[in-house]
A and B are shown apart, each in its own frame.
Chain A
Amino acid sequence: MSQNKKHLDFELNLIPFIDLLSTCICFLLLTAVWINVGSMNVKQAVGGQPASETVKKPILWVFLGDKGEMTLETRDAQSMPANMRKLKLAGADGKTNWIQLASQLDLMKKTEPELKTALIQPRAQTSYEDIIDLMDQFKKSGLGDLGVVPL
């Protein structure tokens, strides 16, 4: 009886397993990338095609102002009511009013579903972070084709 038990209980050699795991941990720790870098893609107009040849799509122009103010101007949007084509959004505490902007963009998308392009016109003093935040908000609202206008 006791002999049978001895046969069943075999010793698993754990040392090579620990070695393997330690090597794996060392390799993964050395090659780990801790910062998750991504990119915000922007398509710029390069070169020239005659304006008459290009298909006119609705474009949202965004003019950034002082203290979080901005002007939203929609061009070539046929189904957009005239009172929505040019809007001025005031800032909140010197920064962009994100809630107002998001609700306005949602309303614009509902009125003009073809609106997918936004061109941002920053000022010389606009920070890179503000531009990226704005692009992030546009992408969230479904405006995927973004561009920045040079000064």
Chain B
Amino acid sequence: MIKQNIIANTALSSPIASASFLNPQGKKWRKTLAADLLLTALIDAFSILVIFLLMNFSSNGEILFMSKDMELPKAAQGEILERNPVIKVEEGKIFLEEKMLTAEGLIAELIEMRKAFKSTHPAGEEMPATITVQADRRTKYEALNQIVLACAHAGFSDLKFAILMK
């Protein structure tokens, strides 16, 4: 006979069970319904899922916003990407933090960014000279050259080219 436990009670008095055309209220079906509820396997599966998802968990979150047409190049020797100002090249257009600019406008905007940082940090702290560059893997160097030159003009010496880790 079925033991009077919580699982058996929950299963037998549930709305699904009472509505079933198999008529679980009958003595014959009561036995079958309680025996089929093997929660150990479900908990095993859940635990494996939680472990897998925890291993993939990243506290950094998504740093870059990528459109569906953009494919980053792949590399094995890359380093962890940190949050820095992002310059993006998309379809020949240059964006600084999602703001579309010309090559000349980019230099002015980068210099302005440095000034704004200095004014908000009166202790004389310098803005880190780091910029993240995001571009499609098929982008030609003539488009990236404008960014390299603009960064050099504005005093940003550390360029971090965004890649996908192999």
Contacts from A to B (Cβ < 8 Å)? 11, 13-15, 17-18, 21-22, 24-25, 28-29, 31-47, 122-129, 131-133, 135-136, 139-140, 148, 150-151
Contact = CB atoms under 8 A, between A and B. Distances in A.
Among A14, A46, A128, max chain B CB count under 10 A is at: A128
Given A33-B58, A129-B137, 5 more contacts: A39-B79, A39-B80, A39-B163, A42-B160, A45-B152
B73 A129 contact: yes
A126 B135 CA distance: 13
B27 interface: no
A21 B43 contact: yes
Contact of A46 (B53, B66, B74, B156): B156
Interface of B: 5-7, 10, 39, 42-43, 46-47, 49-50, 53-54, 56-58, 60-64, 66, 72-82, 129, 132, 135-142, 144-145, 148-149, 151-152, 155-165
Contact of B43 (A13, A18, A42): A18
Q: State the main secondary structure of chain B at its contact with A.
A: mixed
A86 to B, nearest CB: 23
B65 to A, nearest CB: 11
B50 A31 contact: no
A24 B45 CA distance: 13
B145 A124 contact: yes
24 contacts: A11-B5, A13-B6, A14-B7, A21-B43, A22-B46, A28-B50, A33-B56, A36-B164, A37-B63, A37-B64, A37-B165, A38-B165, A44-B148, A44-B152, A46-B129, A124-B140, A124-B145, A127-B140, A128-B144, A132-B73, A135-B77, A135-B161, A140-B77, A150-B145
Nearest to B42: A18
Contacts of A38: 75, 78-81, 162-165
Contacts of A124: 140-142, 145
Nearest to A42: B159
B157 A44 contact: yes
A125 B77 contact: no
A33 B165 contact: no
Contacts of B140: 124-128
Contacts of B135: 128
